[in-house]
Amino acid sequence: MTRLCIIAFAVLVTLATSAAAQTAKPNQGRPMLKSEAIVTGEIVRIGDLIENAGIVSNVPVFRAPDLGSTGAVPVDAVIEAVRTHALVGLDTAGLSEVLVTRASRAIPAKDVEDSVASALSKQFGLGDPKNIAVIFERELRAIQVEPSAKGVPRVARINYDSRSGRFDVTLEVPTGATNRGILRLSGRAVATVDVMTVTRAIERGIVLKDADVLMERHPRAEVTREFVTERDRAVGFAARANLQPGTPLRAADLMKPEIIQRNDAVTLIYEVPGITLTVRGNASDGGAEGDVINVVNEQTKRKVQGMIVGPGRVAVNANSPRLAANIEPTQPAMSANAP
């Protein structure tokens, strides 16, 4: 009796395991529709759309979308296309359509632009390719090619009119593992120069910081030597007048920062052979280091001219006997230092 119970239990376990396996994988081996498919080449085959399609997997049924594009195929169209191929028990998985994407490799529009700029630079002497602005007649987008395509666009022929800046170019573009296609484009090309401009409105006297300046490209023919083309010739300088964003900076627009303001108290420095004298003064003008300004000598109440040599310090040309005679070394406001 015990032996019969053991045999009966083993049979029940086997039956239960078989039923569980069938429940877990009800569609194993059956053809089932895919929700998405990625294809290479121009043809969509049954195996791209249906899992477990068997010997008919390589049978072509549809034309693939354009390179890099995705198309939706209605389930009814799939069923009709495979009807004659004896796919018994096709499970549509409740889908209404299958999304089909054609794989591709994108050649960025920038690569095409760089190829044209490089050819213009070499053949027509327009300078560094990075300073050539290439503008196509029609908006150029990324070019989609087969995933197996290698390499970059290559200029086969180019014509350029230096007066109008117009060009016509024929490019060879890799389209497959061994194939290349032809692309013809037209547009304008202009040699440019980087010119500094400000990013915001700047009031007179404001010292420019790195964040206040921006490099913009302008046609080389429009840029003269007076334009500021280097960042270090703008940052740290002050605006001589109000500046507006987008306007190219000229050297005349900038000046050294004023380190003495009008009406500032300053130290006047008189130098004569063997002696240096200082006296208090009041600035009648503002200026930067190296500027010559008017200063009132507080001791004599006379106005003299001197060069700004540092913050609050103005050196007076002491070659004039009149200026030196105005100094009273014994006054408390003055000091004398013999070298």
Which 3 state secondary structure label does DSSP give 132? strand
Confidence of residue 171 (pLDDT cuts 50, 70, 90): very high
Statement: residue 331 has pLDDT above 80: no
Among the listed residues 61, 93, 101, the one whose alpha carbon sits nearest the alpha carbon of residue 77: 61
- Torsion sign over Cα 118, 122, 125, 128: positive
Architecture of domain 29-103: Roll (3.10)
Residues 6+ apart with CB under 8 A from 156: 170, 171, 172, 182
Task: State the pLDDT confidence band at 47, using cuts at 50, 70 and 90.
Answer: very high
* pLDDT higher than 80, residue 246: yes
Is the pLDDT assigned to residue 329 strictly greater than 90?
no
Q: Is the pLDDT of residue 218 over 60?
A: yes
According to the CATH classification, is domain 193-258 in 3.20.20.450? no
**Average pLDDT of every residue of the chain:** 84
The pLDDT of 100-115, averaged and rounded, is 95
pLDDT above 80: residue 31: yes
C-beta separation of 287 from 316 below 8 A: no
Hey, CA dihedral for 250, 256, 261, 267, is it positive or negative? Answer: negative
Query: What's the confidence (pLDDT) of residue 52?
Result: 93
Those residues whose C-beta lies under 8 Å from the C-beta of residue 269, and which sit 6 or more positions away, are: 276, 277, 278, 306, 309, 313, 314, 315, 316
d(CA 159, CA 63) in angstroms, rounded, equals 39
CATH number, domain 259-337: 2.30.30.760
What share of the chain has pLDDT > 90, as a percent?
A: 56
Q: If you average pLDDT over residues 251-259, what whole number do you get?
A: 87
Among residues 102, 97, 89, the alpha carbon closest in space to that of 45 is found at 102
- Rounded to 5°, angle at Cα 134 from 131 and 140: 140
Domain coordinates of the chain in residue numbers? 29-103, 107-192, 193-258, 259-337
Question: What pLDDT, on a 0 to 100 scale, did the predictor assign at position 104?
Answer: 95
Residue 187 has pLDDT above 90, yes or no: yes
Q: Nearest CA to 320 among 271, 282, 281, 280? A: 271
Q: Taking a C-beta distance cutoff of 8 angstroms, is the pair 160, 123 a contact?
A: yes
Flag whether pLDDT at 172 surpasses 90: yes
* CA 124/CA 96 separation, integer angstroms: 58
